[in-house]
Structure 1
Amino acid sequence: MSTIIIKKVKKAAHVHHGGAWKIAYADFVTAMMAFFLLMWLISMTTQEQKIGLAEYFAPAAPSPANSGAGGVMYGTSLDTSGNKPSTPRDAARGSAEQKGPAEQEDKARSTSPGRANDRDAGRPTASVQADWSAMASLRQALQKMPDIAELSHNIVIEQSKEGVNVSLVDEDGRSMFRDGSVEPYERTRRVLEALAPALRLLPNRLSITGHTSVTRPGSARAGEPWNLTAGRALAVREILAGAGVPNDNFAFVAGRADTEPVFPDNPYIAPNRRVTITLLNASPPVPSNPFR
């Protein structure tokens, strides 16, 4: 009689290898997708746009002007996430220029509404607070536009010695007026119509000045600069008046041609093309002559 032997094989549990490789693979695929997307975007841009991008991320020289606060739209941009550059020069360059902690602290102090900066020195506190209130009203009006994000670099709100400036600034690849024309784009018209109710309620009189860039040597001039800038300033006045701003609110309209570039070191670039609406500060009262 044979003996029956039964073998029982015990299966050992497989060691769990984890899913770290899946995460690494997903990161690799994402990086490759971003790389090919970047290559596609570069192949789709023109040489002029590439130059504009290079100038945006690699400023040629620091700005001599003091920047404001806020960021729509920079210097006030309408974004509430933090302080951003406020002058058209700073708006074009963004935040490429890095500053040390001490400079950042000084800037925060100088741009706080509760503290006076160089532009506010010697001005009555009520006038300074009125400027900050006007800037807040203008930003709030722009924030109501659902498509304002695409124009965040084209609208600059800042304080100046004359009052509050609202500048419509060109960028490479996105202009506020048609090339060589006084006719604004529809997006420019929408921005001005959004600003009109706030401008109508504010007590400030308005000045409007047009500026353009210097024509590069060897390039065809896009219109006579004096007529072009004056015509664009007049077009802005007409849109604001049509949107309800009274004619008595306008102090003057002027064209400066290419005589006042934002970037004197590079007067050819697009951000020098702009139209600026200034909410003028009230003139200080003239003291009576005690000898009369």
Structure 2
Amino acid sequence: MAGNETRPLIVKRKKVIAGGGHHGGAWKVAYADFVTAMMAFFMLMWLLNATTEQQRKGIADYFSPTIPITRISGGGDGAFGGDSPFSETSIAQNGTGATNLRPTEGRQSLGLSGTDHAQAVAEDTAALAALEAALTGDSRLSEDLMAHVQTRLSDEGLVIEIFSRPGQEIFDPDTGQPAIWLPELARVMAELFGTVINDVALGGHVAAEPVVVASETRWRVSTDRAQLFRAMLEAGGLAPRRIQRVTGHADRQATGANPMALRNDRLEVIVLRRDL
């Protein structure tokens, strides 16, 4: 008993925690990752349902660019507009990339480079401008006749309009016969067209009729007039194979606010730009 009295008294207290504690914060990180993944999944499903195939391709290209960006090819539409900043000359190759000293294989096989192509386009434009000047300044065409002619250069080529004037129609409205001066104009135009190698397109237009007398004959009349002028050009010496199309537009393309104006009775001759 004496030995037991000398042992120290040890009191053990047990701490009881209600709810089991938080067991660390790792589960919160895992749960946040799960919520983020689910949000991304539902956003992906929404995009697949709400976009077109072209839009989806654009989104995919944004995250994985497929446009080549190389030393000799500008790939975007930014400051350089797709041109290479490393071009040897001031004119860089467009579209297919490469410079005039290092053209792409496809264009090199055709003997074309960026500078050559730009020069060919410039030469074609200059030829059309010279043709326009020759037509408007031809001494064989009187001032009264040239008052029926209007020319302009467009993206499609040199557009030559031959139109009616009050009391001086290009075609008789009753008989459909052409004006006496129209064959002479066609002959001069065919001769001048021989100075270039560009193809030609023809279009016929007519003025609209009042609603009470309007009929579907407008299509036939405009087409017949274009065909008649085609025959005049061929009679004047223009090779038939150079005429690429002959169309009738009826009264669908008025030149002004009034579709019944006499100015809408016209022939449209286009010396087409070359496919360079």
TM norm structure 2: 0.53
Equivalent residues, number: 160
Residue 246 of structure 1 corresponds to 239
Task: Please show how residues 57-136 of structure 1 align to structure 2 within 5 Å.
Answer: 124=118, 126-136=120-130
Equivalent of 1:270 in 262, 266, 269 = 262
Residue 157 of structure 2 corresponds to 163
Q: Give 1:128 shift.
A: 4.4
Equivalent of 2:271 in 271, 276, 279 = 279
Residue 183 of structure 2 corresponds to 189
Equivalent of 2:222 in 206, 220, 229 = 229
Gaps of 5+ in 1: 1-122, 285-292
Q: Secondary structure at the match of 1:214?
A: coil
Equivalent of 1:178 in 162, 169, 172 = 172
Alignment partners' CA distance in 2, 1:175 and 1:223: 21
For the 8 Å contact 1:162–1:280, the answer to whether it is kept is: yes
For the 8 Å contact 1:138–1:198, the answer to whether it is kept is: no
The structure 1 segments of at least 4 consecutive aligned residues displaced by more than 2 Å after TM superposition are: 123-147, 180-183, 220-223
Equivalent of 1:137 in 128, 131, 139 = 131
Alignment partners' CA distance in 2, 1:208 and 1:223: 21
Give a deviation string over 1:126-150, Cα, whole Å, max 9, x none.
Answer: 4344234324334424534455201
For the 8 Å contact 1:212–1:272, the answer to whether it is kept is: yes
Q: 1:161 to 1:142 in 2, by over 3 A?
A: closer
TM norm structure 1: 0.50
Gaps of 5+ in 2: 1-116
Q: Give 1:191 shift.
A: 0.9
Give a deviation string over 1:205-248, Cα, whole Å, max 9, x none.
Answer: 01100011111344x45981111010110011100101111111
Q: Secondary structure at the match of 1:186?
A: coil
Alignment partners' CA distance in 2, 1:279 and 1:147: 19
Q: 1:279 to 1:214 in 2, by over 3 A?
A: same
Indicate the structure (1 or 2) with the bigger Cα radius of gyration: 2
Q: What's the % identity of the aligned pairs?
A: 17
Q: Give 1:275 shift.
A: 0.7
Alignment partners' CA distance in 1, 2:134 and 2:230: 21
